[in-house]
């Protein structure tokens, strides 16, 4: 049995430097988009260039810079499922802002799936293991596929997410990173919500917050 070959590529918006990721099965061309930053047209271009078939949009959490592009992605890729942790589902289905501090008006979406910690979320030929990494936000998740972790705004290269919002929890953030992420081998790749790619080994050795 051969290993699934994956293509992972990021597009970052210029306002917040928020990463959206394309994860594509190089054999079937089934793909998912992880997070929907403020320049969704970059992701739409990337998907078209590669001839990928987007099967779902997965959300690490629902801060505005990670969901602002949802409507445009849906328009481009069709009514594919949007998957999110249950604690932040209402942000997507009811347009309730995640943060009291940022009361933006939000669009609402249907066809919303749950990302359930400890379970696998499957989209076409791609399967992601869901890990709960809250603290930056209540429904923060990390998605694992093969040797890649998509950590959202929990863990960054050399840093961790903010926990100064009213619904943040700094203790839970550290605990989630330690118990759900740092238990992985050194060579696992860390694809964060902002900034460059890292590895678990690099963060174990050099991240001053851990």
Residues that bind Zn ion (CB under 5 A): 63, 65, 153, 193
> 70-77 and 40-50 helices cross at what angle (nearest 10)?
30
Q: Which is closer to Zn ion, CB of 65 or CB of 88?
A: 65
Residue with tokens 């550290």: 174
CA distance 189 to 1: 23
Min. distance of Cβ 153 from Zn ion in angstroms?
A: 4
64: CB partners within 8 A, 6+ apart: 97, 98, 102, 104, 106
Q: Which is nearer to Zn ion, 6 or 197 (CB)?
A: 197
User: Which is closer to Zn ion, CB of 125 or CB of 209?
Assistant: 209
Nearest CB to Zn ion, comparing residues 52 and 154:
154
Based on CB atoms, which residue is closest to Zn ion, 147 or 159?
A: 159
Ordered DSSP codes for 27-89: TT-EEEEE---S-HHHHHHHHHHHT-EEEEEE-S---HHHHTTHHHHHHHH-S--EEE-GGGH
Minimum CB–partner distance for residue 51 and Zn ion (Å):
29
DSSP 153-203: TTEETTEE----STT--HHHHHHHIIIIITTS-TT-EEEESBS--EEHHHH
Euclidean distance between CA atoms 164 and 179, whole angstroms = 21
User: Shortest approach of Zn ion to residue 157 CB, angstroms?
Assistant: 14
Report the residue number, 165 or 201, with the smaller CB distance to Zn ion.
165
* Residue 21 C-beta: closest distance to Zn ion, Å: 13
**In the complex, least distance from residue 37 CB atom to Zn ion, rounded to whole angstroms:** 9
Shortest distance in whole angstroms from residue 193 CB to Zn ion: 4
């Amino acid at each position: 049995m051969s290993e699934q070959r994956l293509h992972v590529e990021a597009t970052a918006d210029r306002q917040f430097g928020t990463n959206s990721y394309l994860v594509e099965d190089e054999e079937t061309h089934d793909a998912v988009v992880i997070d929907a930053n403020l320049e969704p047209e970059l992701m739409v271009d990337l998907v078209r260039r590669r001839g990928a078939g987007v099967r779902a949009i997965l959300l690490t959490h629902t801060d505005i810079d990670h969901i602002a592009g949802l409507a445009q992605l849906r328009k481009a890729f069709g009514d594919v499922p949007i998957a999110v942790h249950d604690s932040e589902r209402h942000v997507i289905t009811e347009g309730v802002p995640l943060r009291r501090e940022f009361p933006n008006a939000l669009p609402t979406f249907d066809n919303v799936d749950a990302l359930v910690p400890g379970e696998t979320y499957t989209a076409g030929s791609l399967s992601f293991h869901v890990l709960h990494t809250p603290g930056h936000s209540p429904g923060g998740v990390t998605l694992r596929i093969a040797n890649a972790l998509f950590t959202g705004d929990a863990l960054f290269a050399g840093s961790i997410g903010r926990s100064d919002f009213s619904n943040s929890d700094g203790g839970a953030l550290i605990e989630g990173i330690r118990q759900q992420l740092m238990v992985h081998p050194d060579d696992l790749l860390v694809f964060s919500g902002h900034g460059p790619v890292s590895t678990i080994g690099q963060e174990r050795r050099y991240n001053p917050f851990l």
